[in-house]
Structure 1
Amino acid sequence: MHSRLTAILIALSAAALFGATTPIAKALLGAMPPFMVAGLFYLGSGIGLGAVIVCRRLARAASAADGSGLRMPELPWLAGAIVAGGVAGPALLMLGLASTPAATSSLLLNLEGVLTAAIAWIVFRENVDRQVLLGMAAIVAGGVVLSWPTDSTAGSGVSGGALLIVLACACWAIDNNLTRRISTADATVIACAKGLAAGATNLGIALAMGAHLPAPQDIIAAMTTGFGGYGVSLVLFVIALRHLGTARTGAYFSVAPVFGVALSLAMWPRAPGAAFWIAAGLMALGVWLHVRERHEHEHTHERLEHTHRHTHDEHHRHEHAFPYSGDEPHTHPHVHLPITHSHAHFPDIHHRHPHKPG
């Protein structure tokens, strides 16, 4: 199992890669329609990760695979994640970006983390502490300030574009919670499957609407951006889901707009308005509250049998039914016996236990 710090750094790295795609997508929208951008982003992700998988297998590095393959009961969860996060989400984002400043769009994407945590808490009953709730409230307040119509933006379509981006965040929040259900599987395989399916769907829609493939340099730029910002980012996000839980991973992922803002202001230099800075302050407060949250209590692990990449830490004290060379981390089916103890933890794949009210 990754340490807490390593898992947090993985989540932040995923956020950095994804956040940087927003201003680049804004620039590419001048050369191609929204569905074309989304399609090429995801195809770049799927094809790039597919190449990684092939190279990994050719190098006979199967033992280094991150987790296990997908099983039949997990395929419906993957399909739902693809529809919500791979088809609807990016299309709504691209349409929203067409009428919303890149810096504003980047900050508004913080709402994905809030909605992710809300669904995890309300629907999947994942524990969310009071401090996380306060952080969510601060991020929501920042989003309201950012999208509230003013005299200077009422007729420019900014608020309409902001609404589309909020809807995109809702789609990705659903995607995140569905992906959490399959987070023990190979993260690269999950991200590759989502990229290929979502890319083909969005590209097909674009072509059916009369769009034409852009210039080769634009295709390369979009697919390269998609490989890093959607592909590698998603691999890291799935790994973080495995070790932090859905709500906490969504919270750390909320820092993605910081990287988007920095890049967008470098690409289109201008002085942001007062609402931008108020929203930025509220969202920064929310992220800070999430980062400093600590959850510790006595808890009981019930018997659990599953497969994922692991090292022999306090939660993995098991025997091996095969010749074991001592190499770690490694992947194989293993059983967790019941144990009661107390330590700081997140609702990861080993700590999805109920909590007493209050």
Structure 2
Amino acid sequence: MNARPHAALTALLAAALFGVTTPLAKTLLGSLSPFMVAGLFYLGSGLGLAIGILIRRLRRKAAERQNESRIQLAELPWPAGAIAAGGIAGPALLMLGLATTPAAMSALLLNLEGVFTALIAWVVFRENVDSRILLGMAAIVAGGVALSWQPGAAGLSTGALLVVAACIAWAIDNNLTRKVSTNDAMVIACLKGLVAGSVNLSIALLLGAHVPGAGRTAAAMLTGFAGYGVSLVLFVVALRNLGTARTGAYFSIAPLFGVALSLVLWPEMPPLLFWVAAAFMAIGIWLHVRERHEHAHTHELLLHNHRHRHDEHHQHAHDFEWDGEEPHVHPHRHAPMTHTHAHYPDIHHRHIH
């Protein structure tokens, strides 16, 4: 399906920003405690996005500020669950698991996040899947396994099971975040950063860690703003346009970007498995981009609020003065409609097959 190539590009850019965070953290942060790193990264993302939201709000017209999307009270359980699972439980489980699990095995197990994300999307939320998407996901996961594989690492210890549990927590986070992906992506990512950052930093301080000097703190927070904040904003936008399983598959190639940057920072000839992983992931992306899912489907009555253009799904009048600018944001109503066209499981196509 190539109707919206920018949607795939958004997911890939999110993966790239997240992937390069690991080698940058190694360069910038040295021996900080894992919870301190997580806390500063998340706080950097939350505070940076809060400043961005304030600047954007000051620059917007009064009418656009009035119509902008806001998380409704009935929706609060979704972001609250996502923050608890992905921003608090996930990092805590990972840090506990890393304490007793070799780095190679941890990297191998972290590839399970994309698998669990897709399984929950397909089984629990009934998101559409076909053979091309399934094969693409398998190829991307195979690439991740090749990228992190080291002979001799076998068996699952308690620490390894904790890493697996962290992957499940992040998969739950991804699926719950999709439920509110029509809302402002910057606000969603900002809330997660502020809450998760505060919790992880508090844990670090309770465990006896100390906040580093101003330079290292600023470097950590700036890295978190790009790798956790901007990346999450792009991830939420991709969820809105691609659905959870497909976005999770694209995001699974993040380690490839991390390894590529590591090779730039510490030059050496890439091992054979790097090229094998790159080939598998390229095949997976190609299969996803080439997907074409088309059938007659019915849109039920829908009321929501998100940034949009007046395309075939947005044919409505405005009850306010509109200057013709697109895209724009305001609450709008989708009348029931049946038609046929190629589509993703995006926010307008969450129907059962």
Q: For the superposition of Structure 1 and Structure 2, which TM-score range results when normalised by the shorter chain? A: 0.7 to 0.9
Q: Paired residue for 1:242?
A: 240
Shift of residue 274 of structure 1?
Answer: 5.2
**Alpha-carbon distance between aligned partners in 2 of 1:39 and 1:132, rounded to the nearest angstrom:** 35
**Alpha-carbon distance between aligned partners in 2 of 1:162 and 1:143, rounded to the nearest angstrom:** 17
Shift of residue 8 of structure 1?
Answer: 1.7
Q: Paired residue for 1:309?
A: 307
Task: State the one-letter code of the partner of 1:17.
Answer: L
Task: State the one-letter code of the partner of 1:186.
Answer: D
CA contact (8 A) 2:39 2:197 kept: yes
Shift of residue 40 of structure 1?
Answer: 0.2
**Alpha-carbon distance between aligned partners in 1 of 2:103 and 2:67, rounded to the nearest angstrom:** 38
Shift of residue 241 of structure 1?
Answer: 0.9
Shift of residue 309 of structure 1?
Answer: 1.1
Q: Paired residue for 1:266?
A: 264
- Which residue of 327, 335, 338 corresponds with 2:336? 338
**Alpha-carbon distance between aligned partners in 2 of 1:166 and 1:10, rounded to the nearest angstrom:** 27
**Alpha-carbon distance between aligned partners in 1 of 2:106 and 2:61, rounded to the nearest angstrom:** 40
Q: Paired residue for 1:173?
A: 171
Map 1:1-358 onto structure 2 (within 5 A). Answer: 4-27=4-27, 30-61=30-61, 63=64, 68-93=69-94, 109-143=110-144, 150-151=151-152, 165-271=163-269, 277-355=275-353
**Alpha-carbon distance between aligned partners in 2 of 1:222 and 1:64, rounded to the nearest angstrom:** 32
Q: Which moved more, 1:139-148 or 1:198-207?
A: 139-148
Q: Deviations over 1:214-263 (max 9, x none)?
A: 12221111100000111011111111111111111112222322211111
Shift of residue 56 of structure 1?
Answer: 1.8
**Alpha-carbon distance between aligned partners in 2 of 1:58 and 1:136, rounded to the nearest angstrom:** 42
- Cα distance, 1:8–1:245 mapped onto 2, change above 3 Å: same
Q: Which moved more, 1:286-295 or 1:190-199?
A: 286-295
Shift of residue 201 of structure 1?
Answer: 0.2
Count of aligned pairs between the two proteins: 350
**Alpha-carbon distance between aligned partners in 1 of 2:33 and 2:168, rounded to the nearest angstrom:** 22
Shift of residue 26 of structure 1?
Answer: 3.6
Q: Deviations over 1:128-150 (max 9, x none)?
A: 11111122233444555566663
**Alpha-carbon distance between aligned partners in 1 of 2:183 and 2:12, rounded to the nearest angstrom:** 21
Task: State the one-letter code of the partner of 1:339.
Answer: M
**Alpha-carbon distance between aligned partners in 2 of 1:199 and 1:273, rounded to the nearest angstrom:** 36
Q: CA RMSD in A?
A: 3.0
Question: Unaligned 5+ residue runs, structure 1?
Answer: none
Task: State the one-letter code of the partner of 2:82.
Answer: A
Task: State the one-letter code of the partner of 2:264.
Answer: A
Q: Deviations over 1:99-126 (max 9, x none)?
A: 6558x87776544332211110011111
- Cα distance, 1:66–1:224 mapped onto 2, change above 3 Å: farther
- For the residue of structure 2 that corresponds to 1:320, the secondary structure is coil
**Alpha-carbon distance between aligned partners in 1 of 2:204 and 2:66, rounded to the nearest angstrom:** 35
Question: Unaligned 5+ residue runs, structure 2?
Answer: none
Q: Deviations over 1:299-341 (max 9, x none)?
A: 1111111111111000000111222222211111111111111
**Alpha-carbon distance between aligned partners in 1 of 2:273 and 2:344, rounded to the nearest angstrom:** 34
Q: TM-score, normalised by structure 1?
A: 0.87
CA contact (8 A) 1:116 1:176 kept: yes
Q: TM-score, normalised by structure 2?
A: 0.88
Indicate the percent of aligned positions where both proteins have the same amino acid.
Answer: 68
Shift of residue 22 of structure 1?
Answer: 1.8
- For the residue of structure 2 that corresponds to 1:87, the secondary structure is helix
